[in-house]
């Protein structure tokens, strides 16, 4: 059974090749698990390394939808997206073949030192934030039709050999929805800690929902904390915890690993990036910026050497004061 591919080097791959490369999908080859299936690292006969996502068991009735979605996703190429190299259908099995990312997920690198083994200083984290934003902006604004990720989170931001951010799993929620599987709404609408408040009232996903989830990822980069389950949060999550600190001493939220004495302008720069995160995390979707506007804010900060315009460095009790030099997103009705 041949693999349908989008790049010529993989054209001769078969299902048997993928079985052999993963040792029959042996546990030792497993590098990740998620709501949509397991991911295996596989070395092909030509020496190249790929990641194979084995989808959770799906009913055969979605064949046409699966093929259509794969053909769409396979054509999407961008430096900050994980490229889909090919896919395979065998009976009930659905396999997706992706380019392998050396450093795995941002979630692992940031929160699991055993898995990650990389220390991310602020310039590296800033680069990851900008790369992830660029990838999302491409999905939202450059793809026709526009693609809503629906499950933006740090475990879906992968890092290549240059620690460049690559957004993964875009299109997966829509694929599963199209194939009519019995996934829970929570799987289709995001991951706890990243889900925007409006998703609890309506199950309609939007680009502004992705913007909220990106804001949570940016908070992770700034604080070094996971979105849920910290003993410090009490009944809160990361967003609520940062909101509480905004009324006290906001600089206490930053990751202690980032604070070094030989970088006098660092705290100002962290505050400016926190302000961007705050705008993304506005409870009102229409007040959030678009991802293109987020990119423009990042650019303004970096061009301005981290000064980010005229705005105050203080963050007020309404969560975060908005820098007056950054234009607000227009209201979408």
The string of pLDDT tens digits covering residues 26-62 is 999 999 887 788 999 999 888 889 999 998 866 555 7
Shared-domain flag, residues 93 and 112: no
Shared-domain flag, residues 147 and 272: yes
Q: What pTM did the predictor assign?
A: 0.86
CATH of the domain at 27: 3.30.200.20
**Does the pLDDT of residue 327 top 50, yes or no?**
no
Q: Range of 188's domain?
A: 106-303
**Does the pLDDT of residue 279 top 70, yes or no?**
yes
CA dist., res. 292 & res. 134, Å (int): 8
Residues with a known catalytic role:
151
Q: pLDDT value at position 231?
A: 80
Shared-domain flag, residues 21 and 89: yes
Longest dimension (CA), the chain: 61
Shared-domain flag, residues 69 and 117: no
Domain count, the chain: 2
**Do residues 6 and 85 touch, judged by C-beta distance below 8 A?**
yes
The pLDDT tens digits of the residues spanning 70-98 come to 888 888 999 999 999 988 888 788 899 99
- 327 located within any domain: no
Shared-domain flag, residues 19 and 158: no
Would you say 54 is a known binding-site residue? yes
**Does the pLDDT of residue 325 top 70, yes or no?**
no
Shared-domain flag, residues 34 and 158: no
**Do residues 86 and 97 touch, judged by C-beta distance below 8 A?**
yes
Shared-domain flag, residues 87 and 127: no
Shared-domain flag, residues 193 and 299: yes
CA dist., res. 262 & res. 295, Å (int): 28
- 198 located within any domain: yes
- 187 located within any domain: yes
Shared-domain flag, residues 125 and 87: no
């Amino acid at each position: 059974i041949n693999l349908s591919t989008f790049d010529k080097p993989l054209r001769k791959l078969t299902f048997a090749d993928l079985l052999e490369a993963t040792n029959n999908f042996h546990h030792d080859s497993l590098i990740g698990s998620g709501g949509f299936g397991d991911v295996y690292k596989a070395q092909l006969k030509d020496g190249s390394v790929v990641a194979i996502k084995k989808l959770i068991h799906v009913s055969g009735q979605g064949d046409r939808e699966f093929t259509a979605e794969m053909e769409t996703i396979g054509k999407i190429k961008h430096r900050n997206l994980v490229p889909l190299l090919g896919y395979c259908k065998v009976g009930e099995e659905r396999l997706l073949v992706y380019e392998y990312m050396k450093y795995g997920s941002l979630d692992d690198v940031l929160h699991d030192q055993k898995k990650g083994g990389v220390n991310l200083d602020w310039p590296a984290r800033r680069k990851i934030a900008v790369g992830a934003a660029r990838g999302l902006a491409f999905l939202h604004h450059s793809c026709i039709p526009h693609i809503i990720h629906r499950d933006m989170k740090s475990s879906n931001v992968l890092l290549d050999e240059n620690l460049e951010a690559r957004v993964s799993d875009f299109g997966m929620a829509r694929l599963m929805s199209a194939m009519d599987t019995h996934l829970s709404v929570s799987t289709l609408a995001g991951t706890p800690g990243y889900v925007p408040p409006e998703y609890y009232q309506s199950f309609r996903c939007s680009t502004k929902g992705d913007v909220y989830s990106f804001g949570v990822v940016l908070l992770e980069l700034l604080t070094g904390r996971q979105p849920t389950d910290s003993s410090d949060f009490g009944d809160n999550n990361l967003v609520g915890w940062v909101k509480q600190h905004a009324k006290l001493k906001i600089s206490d939220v930053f990751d202690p690993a980032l604070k070094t004495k030989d970088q006098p302008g660092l705290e100002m720069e962290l505050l400016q990036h926190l302000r961007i995160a705050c705008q993304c995390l506005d409870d009102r979707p229409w007040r959030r910026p678009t991802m293109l506007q987020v990119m423009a804010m990042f650019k303004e900060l970096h061009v301005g050497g981290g000064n980010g315009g005229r705005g105050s460095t203080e963050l007020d009790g309404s969560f975060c004061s908005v820098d007056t030099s950054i234009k607000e997103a227009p209201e979408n009705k």
